[in-house]
A and B are shown apart, each in its own frame.
Chain A
Amino acid sequence: MEEQSYRLITAYFEKTISDEGLTQLREWIEESPANLAQFSETIQILEASKAYTAQPLNQQKSWVGIQQYINQPLKAKNTRILRYKWLAAAAILLAVCSTTLAWYKHMLNALTSIEYAEVSNVNGRHTKVYLPDSSVVYLSGGSKIKFAKGFDGKTRNVQLNGEAFFDVVHQAKPFVVSSGKISTVVLGTSFNVKAYSSQQKVTVTVKSGKVGVLATVNGKRKLVKYLTPDEQIEINTLNGLYAFGQTDAHAVSGWINNDLSFYNTALTDIAQSIEHHYGVHIDFTDPEQGHVKLTTKFDNVSLKQVMQTLSELSGLAYTQKGNQFFFTNTNQKGGSIMR
């Protein structure tokens, strides 16, 4: 029994415990104060030992070192390296010149009439977009933004369909992200907006600063809520119901570094994120199966590993046909043709 209890506590700590195990653990803790003490001491030890494993601080630096290493040609002589450097510098100069020239042309055009720039991503592609005011937008897969070139109006207006993380430069001119009837107004903050028109749902998460979320109802704009860091609002655009609460904004915006985290999220929603992120299609042979809620985290892992983890957690099997994945019930013996 002693080993069994340690096992349950470890599973509890790693959040992999089953419902059954949780009941068992609860009963065992209530049995005696000694058990409760064992529980809290064990958790404390696990937490401390987890803290022992730190996070790497110099990932970027390490990669640069490796890159230099693999880029150096074998048996290279000094003169050759120098010439390469000169060539590279010339190429960069040329690129800079041509892009600035193109940009000036655009600017000239913008003065005569309002021109819109549009950036869209297919599923599975990320881009980093620099806006005219030098704010940065990380645009997720299957997403699109549209904005007036030059931001000449009274507000800095960006239209979004899909998911994007905004890092907005502070200016007196308000920055407005509109996704359908919902708009998000800020002055200078960083926040994540998820608004795929196919999902009838808009989610706004604030990482820093203060953000106002407005809704257009019967042609009138009204404030829904102000959000502060680590707050999240989720609005159903069909029935207008909304819910807000605390969240970990770092985890929500993790997708820009290919880190996806889900907390108590329906498998259908997770599947949709995976579709946008990896550029695949995921279907369920039985739509009911998608309702199961999971908590999981993928830090830069391959698609194969993601699908395996989801399959293990949900107890569903999956089959792959090229770009298409199907989740099926492993022990299905029958079903309904009316679905």
Chain B
Amino acid sequence: MYLQLSDEELVGLLKVDDHLALENLFNRYYKSLCQLSAVYTKDFEIAEEVVANMFMKLWDTRNDLNLQNVKGYLSVSIRNASINQLQRKKLVVESIDEVAHQLSNIADELTPLNIITGRESYNRILKLIDTLPASQREVLLMSHVDNLSKHEIAAISDISVRTVETTLYQSVKKLRLLLKDFYNSAASN
């Protein structure tokens, strides 16, 4: 059973041309890697492309791989590939509309918070996230990628766990300030 095998064992199986091993790795990490890539590319379609290409590359280089930490390797590869992709394609279309569409599902849930705030401030926050300093934006969004711990975020971005924690807190604090500014200026107008 492939489900039982660790990532490292699966990568070992790639060397004997085992397609199922690649498929299992793909199923295990596709979603979270796409989310990670989208932090940089800001476009989910491009993110999916980047991830698919990375798996093809993984297959091509399977005989030279000797990995201790497969998840870390994949995450760092995706980060690099996504940043490269950005540099290659300077013009990135930001799909705020799509995000807003997904938000409509969330906003339909009637938590007390949603009743008070509504959808508008969500869109406001989404736009403000893109105005954060790059490092804060990166850590804030990475903290929501599936199955990615603080330690792994620290390893991928090459910063300490402590820095991840403080950056996360600073990004939320900054966003609160930005939001307050926005509402104050809206009220005075």
Contacts and interface: CB of A to CB of B under 8 A. Distances in A.
6 contacts: A45-B176, A47-B113, A48-B125, A70-B22, A124-B3, A303-B4
A66 B52 CA distance: 7
A299 B31 contact: yes
A63 B3 CA distance: 18
Nearest to B23: A63
B30 A59 contact: yes
Given A52-B129, A303-B3, A66 B59 contact: yes
Given A7-B169, A53-B39, A70 B1 contact: no
A305 B175 CA distance: 34
B172 interface: yes
Interface stretch (A34-42, A88-96, A182-190): A34-42
Interface stretch (B74-82, B116-124, B153-161): B116-124
B34 to A, nearest CB: 4
A275 to B, nearest CB: 12
Q: Is the interface of B mostly helix, strand, loop or mixed?
A: helix
Contacts of B117: 44
Interface in B40-83: 44-45, 47-49, 51-52, 55-56, 59
Nearest to A64: B52
Nearest to A37: B176
Interface in B1-45: 1, 3-7, 19, 22-23, 26-28, 30-31, 34-35, 38-39, 44-45
Given A6-B169, A69-B56, A280-B4, 4 more contacts: A3-B169, A10-B172, A51-B103, A56-B31
Contacts of A303: 3-5
Q: Is the interface of A mostly helix, strand, loop or mixed?
A: helix
B172 A46 contact: yes
B188 interface: no
Task: List the 5 closest pairs (A to B, CB-CB), nearest first.
Answer: A48-B125, A62-B52, A56-B34, A6-B169, A53-B35
A47 B172 CA distance: 11
Interface residues of B, number: 57
Given A51-B126, A66-B56, A279-B1, A258 B27 contact: yes
Most buried by B among A2, A53, A58: A53
A118 B129 CA distance: 56
Nearest to A63: B26
B44 A56 contact: yes
A67 interface: yes
Contacts of B48: 56-59, 62
A279 B6 CA distance: 15
Contact of B55 (A58, A66, A278, A280): A66
Most buried by B among A48, A52, A67: A52
A290 B2 CA distance: 27
Given A44-B121, A45-B125, A66 B22 contact: yes
A50 interface: yes
Interface residues on A, range: 35 or more
Given A47-B106, A51-B102, A278-B4, A6 B125 contact: no
A119 interface: no
Contact of A49 (B34, B144, B147): B144
Contacts of A7: 165, 169
Nearest to B4: A303
Interface in A127-184: none
Contacts of A65: 52
B116 A124 contact: no
A304 B147 contact: no
Contacts of B163: none
B113 to A, nearest CB: 6
A117 to B, nearest CB: 25
Contact of B5 (A49, A59, A70, A302): A302
Contacts of A44: 113, 117, 121-122, 125
A40 B113 contact: yes
A51 B172 contact: no
A299 B98 CA distance: 24
B146 interface: yes
A300 interface: yes
Contact of B147 (A54, A63, A301): A301
A83 B30 CA distance: 33
Contacts of B49: 62
A207 interface: no
Contacts of B106: 47, 51
Nearest to B130: A52
Contacts of A55: 31
A266 interface: no
A49 B30 contact: no
Contacts of B129: 48-49, 52
A302 B144 contact: no
Contacts of A58: 45, 48
